[in-house]
């Protein structure tokens, strides 16, 4: 299961989340520049439990390096696919969590989850000399928070079955519940990171996200947060929208709605729409002309049902303008 996007839009641009993604990418590029020294680089800035439990290894590191590793490990990655998978998950789930917490509380939340995930990994692998790196523990915390904040949201998920792409909407509590169950079973069955993945870091980060998001929601927002939000307010709706259509048995046409902002209505926009239909779905490009009014119906010819007399209906999308 590969998440494509969630159906819960954020009202503000995720400045902290985007910055975190940028820092991860930048440090990955620095990591690639290490050449033959990359193993030493990862051992120094990655989380190696034995550095804290084996005196002969701890001797080679300063107290500052020992503390730093509990935070720097979450910004290093084992390869491009490792980085891509983590950043994609952070992109999908992080914007909504930041939108609810605000930028300052979200930044604190992210580091707390990352630190706690590293601590959990350390507790279950105290003698390990294998460096643990990656943002997945902190991102697991973001996913745990998403489960608490948006349990009824839907996750548009790509499932390749026999080389046929299927796009299905899965409730967040099911998608994230299955994900956590896989992490927990993997951690208990494979004992930590024996398979090269710090499963306990994922488990610890996820549980930390559930706890810390509840605690931080009790902390009042600052005036700085309100000021930042006035600047980061979005003026566009998501480029990809999921549209659930209605149809009558005797009517070949399909009916649905598409949501845009006043700015998009004034200047026009292009959207991708995913239309679930039974066990299949279609992804279509929709051009919305400038100056469109609320309640306008867009007609996409030939994209409706095929009637018994072989007449092909249209897809009729009603324009909704969200302030």
Task: State the CATH number of the domain containing residue 272.
Answer: 2.60.260.20
> So what's the pLDDT on residue 309?
77
User: Does the pLDDT at position 57 exceed 60?
Assistant: yes
Pair (147, 287) in one structural domain: no
d(CA 237, CA 231): 17
Bridge partner list, 285: 272
Pair (40, 128) in one structural domain: yes
Pair (201, 158) in one structural domain: yes
Pair (185, 299) in one structural domain: no
Q: Which of 216, 232, 248 is the last residue of a domain?
A: 232
> So what's the pLDDT on residue 196?
60
> So what's the pLDDT on residue 277?
64
Pair (117, 175) in one structural domain: yes
Q: Which of 191, 206, 232 is the last residue of a domain?
A: 232
> So what's the pLDDT on residue 250?
80
d(CA 17, CA 13): 9
> So what's the pLDDT on residue 302?
86
> So what's the pLDDT on residue 24?
96
DSSP β-ladder status, 164-171 and 154-161: antiparallel
> So what's the pLDDT on residue 193?
52
User: Across the chain, what does the average pLDDT equal?
Assistant: 88
> So what's the pLDDT on residue 44?
92
The residue among 1 and 151 whose pLDDT is bigger is: 151
- Which whole number is the average pLDDT over 22-36? 93
Q: How many residues does the chain have?
A: 323
User: Does the pLDDT at position 233 exceed 80?
Assistant: no
d(CA 78, CA 197): 10
Determine the structural domain holding residue 277 and report its residue range.
240-321
User: Does the pLDDT at position 38 exceed 70?
Assistant: yes
User: Does the pLDDT at position 267 exceed 60?
Assistant: yes
Q: Per residue in 170-208, pLDDT tens?
A: 899 999 999 999 999 988 876 555 556 788 999 999 999
pTM value surpassing 0.95: no
The residue among 135 and 230 whose pLDDT is bigger is: 135
User: Does the pLDDT at position 59 exceed 60?
Assistant: yes
Q: Which band of pLDDT confidence, cut at 50, 70 and 90, is reported for residue 281? A: low
DSSP 257-307: EEEE-HHHHHH-EEEEEEEEETTEEEEEEEEE-TT--TT-EEEETT-SPBP
For the chain, the three-class secondary structure string (H helix, E strand, C coil) is: CEEEEECCCCCECCHHHHHHHHHHHHHHHHHHCCHHHHHHHHHHHCECCHHHHCHHHHCCCCHHHHHHHHHHHHHCCCCHHHHHHHHHHHHHHHHHHHHHHCHHHHHHHHHHHHHHHHHHHHHHCCCCCCCECCCHHHHHHHHHHHHHHCCCCEEEEEEEECCEEEEEEEEHHHHHHHHHHHHHHHHHHHCCCCCCCCHHHHHHHHHHHHHHHHHHHCCCCCHHHHHHHHHHECCCCCCEEECCCECCCCCCCEEEEEEECHHHHHHCEEEEEEEEECCEEEEEEEEECCCCCCCCEEEECCCCCECCCCCECCEEEEEEECC
| Domain CATH for 168 | 1.20.1540.10
Pair (207, 268) in one structural domain: no
User: Does the pLDDT at position 211 exceed 60?
Assistant: yes
Q: Per residue in 113-160, pLDDT tens?
A: 999 999 999 999 888 898 999 999 999 999 999 999 999 898 988 877
Count how many domains the chain has. 2
d(CA 188, CA 205): 16
> So what's the pLDDT on residue 167?
75
- Which whole number is the average pLDDT over 100-116? 95
> So what's the pLDDT on residue 16?
95
> So what's the pLDDT on residue 86?
95
Pair (255, 197) in one structural domain: no
Pair (158, 12) in one structural domain: yes
Pair (173, 300) in one structural domain: no
C-alpha angle 182/187/191, rounded to 5°?
150
Q: Which residues touch 18 (CB under 8 Å, ≥6 apart)?
A: none
Pair (213, 315) in one structural domain: no
Q: Tell me which DSSP letter residue 193 carries.
A: T
Q: Which of 165, 199, 232 is the last residue of a domain?
A: 232
The residue among 91 and 233 whose pLDDT is bigger is: 91
Pair (285, 183) in one structural domain: no
> So what's the pLDDT on residue 100?
92
Pair (225, 274) in one structural domain: no
> So what's the pLDDT on residue 251?
84
Report yes or no: 125 and 201 within 8 Å, Cβ to Cβ. Answer: no
């Amino acid at each position: 299961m590969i998440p494509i996007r969630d159906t819960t839009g954020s009202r503000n641009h995720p400045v902290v989340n985007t910055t975190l993604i940028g820092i991860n990418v930048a440090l990955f590029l620095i990591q690639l520049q290490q050449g033959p020294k990359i193993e030493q680089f990862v051992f120094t800035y990655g989380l190696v439990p034995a550095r804290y439990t084996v005196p002969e290894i701890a001797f080679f590191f300063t107290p500052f390096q020992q503390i730093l590793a509990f935070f720097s490990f979450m910004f290093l990655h084992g390869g491009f696919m490792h980085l891509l998978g983590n950043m994609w998950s952070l992109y999908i789930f992080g914007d909504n969590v930041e939108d609810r917490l605000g930028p300052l509380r979200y930044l604190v939340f992210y580091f707390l989850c990352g630190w706690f995930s590293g601590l959990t990994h350390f507790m279950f692998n105290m003698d390990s000399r294998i460096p643990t790196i990656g943002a997945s523990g902190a991102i697991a915390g973001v996913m745990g928070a998403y489960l608490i904040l948006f349990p009824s949201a839907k996750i548009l998920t790509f499932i390749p079955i026999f080389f046929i792409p299927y796009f299905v909407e899965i409730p967040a509590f099911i998608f994230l519940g299955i994900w956590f169950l896989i992490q927990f079973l993997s951690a208990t069955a494979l004992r930590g990171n024996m398979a090269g993945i710090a499963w306990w870091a994922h488990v610890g980060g996820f549980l930390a996200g559930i706890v810390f998001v509840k605690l931080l929601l009790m902390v009042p927002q600052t005036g700085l947060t309100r000021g930042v939000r006035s600047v980061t307010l979005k003026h566009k709706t998501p480029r990809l929208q999921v549209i659930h259509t209605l149809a009558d048995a005797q009517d070949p046409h399909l009916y649905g709605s598409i949501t845009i902002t006043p700015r998009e209505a004034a200047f026009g926009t292009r959207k991708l729409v995913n239309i679930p239909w039974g066990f299949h779905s279609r992804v279509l490009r929709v051009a919305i002309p400038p100056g469109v009014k609320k309640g306008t119906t867009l007609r996409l010819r030939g994209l409706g049902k095929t009637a018994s007399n072989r007449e092909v209906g249209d897809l009729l999308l009603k324009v909704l303008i969200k302030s």
